[in-house]
Amino acid sequence: MTTIRHLDGAAELDACVAMQHAIWGPGFREAVPRTILLIAQKMGGVVAGAFDGDRMLGFVFGLTGVRNGTVAHWSDMLAVDPSFRDLGVGRALKAFQRNAVVALGVREMYWTYDPLIARNAHFNLNRLGAEVDDYVIDMYGTTGSTLHGGLQTDRFVVRWQLDAPPPVAPPRRPDDRFVQIPASDGGITAEWRLKTRVAFTEAHADGYRVVGFERAGEAAAYRLGRIR
Look at residue 41 and tell me if it is in a domain. yes
Integer angstrom CA distances of residue 152 from 78, 120, 144, 158, 184:
20, 18, 11, 19, 18
209, 223 in Cβ contact below 8 A? no
Look at residue 199 and tell me if it is in a domain. no
pLDDT at 148: 63
Average pLDDT over the chain reads: 92
pLDDT at 210: 96
Of 65 and 217, the one with more pLDDT = 65
Q: How many CA atoms lie within 13 A of 172 on its CB side?
A: 7
Judge whether residue 80 has pLDDT over 80.
yes
pLDDT at 185: 73
The pLDDT tens digits of the residues spanning 166-214 come to 888 888 999 999 999 998 877 789 999 999 999 999 999 999 999 999 9
Average pLDDT, integer, range 5-18: 97
pLDDT at 141: 87
Distance CA 32, CA 120 (A): 21
Average pLDDT, integer, range 80-108: 94
Look at residue 80 and tell me if it is in a domain. yes
Look at residue 214 and tell me if it is in a domain. no
Q: Look at residues 134, 133, 129 and name the one whose alpha carbon lies nearest to residue 164.
A: 129
Domain count, the chain: 1
The pLDDT tens digits of the residues spanning 36-74 come to 999 999 999 999 999 999 999 999 999 999 998 999 999
pLDDT at 164: 84
pLDDT at 147: 66
pLDDT at 142: 78
Judge whether residue 161 has pLDDT over 70.
yes
Look at residue 209 and tell me if it is in a domain. no
- Identify the weakest region by mean pLDDT among 27-31, 91-95, 214-218: 214-218
The pLDDT tens digits of the residues spanning 118-157 come to 999 999 999 899 999 999 999 998 777 766 667 899 999 9
Look at residue 187 and tell me if it is in a domain. no
pLDDT at 95: 95
Look at residue 201 and tell me if it is in a domain. no
Q: Which amino acid is at 70?
A: T
Look at residue 196 and tell me if it is in a domain. no
220, 182 in Cβ contact below 8 A? yes
Domain holding 6, by residue range, is: 2-169
Distance CA 57, CA 82 (A): 9
Domain containing 76 — which CATH number?
A: 3.40.630.30
Integer angstrom CA distances of residue 62 from 54, 69, 111, 160:
22, 18, 9, 14
